[in-house]
Amino acid sequence: MFFVWRDERGRVWRDVIRDSARKEFEAGRLERDPEMVNRLLLTGRDAVDQAVSKFLERREAIQREEDGGDGKGSVGGSFGGSLGGSVYGK
């Protein structure tokens, strides 16, 4: 399950993200202006990219904590590093 940690208010992140996405969708659902639709799509894509990036960072931090802080976690080190290299060419 993804985004299982809590925010500063004690809410589970997956619930916060789901509620926010639903509000954004409902707000833009009836938009007819092509420029505004394009803007909504671009900002939505950026939000997803940021969420994935923060998820990977948080997952690696949790893995390091569980491994005792040695930084040799199998999930964070190998998957996170290879994902960045293969998807984004870094």
Q: Do 29 and 40 form a contact (C-beta atoms < 8 A)?
A: no
| Higher per-residue confidence, 34 vs 27 | 34
- The residue whose two tokens read 């996405």 is 21
Q: Give me the helices (H) in the chain, please.
A: 13-28, 34-66, 80-88
Domain locations along the chain: 33-88
Q: What is the pLDDT of residue 34?
A: 92
Rounded average pLDDT over 14-22: 88
| DSSP character at residue 11 | -
pLDDT tens for 73-89 read 444 444 444 334 334 34
CA separation, residue 22 to residues 17, 50, 73 (Å): 9, 18, 34
Q: What is the pLDDT of residues 39-74, one digit of tens each?
A: 988 888 898 899 889 888 988 998 999 998 655 544
Mean pLDDT to the nearest integer, 3-25 = 86
Report which of 83, 61, 55 is spatially closest to residue 73, judged by C-alpha positions.
Answer: 61
pLDDT at 70: 57
Asked if residue 73 lies in contact with residue 63, where contact means CB atoms within 8 angstroms, the answer is: yes
pLDDT at position 9, please?
A: 92
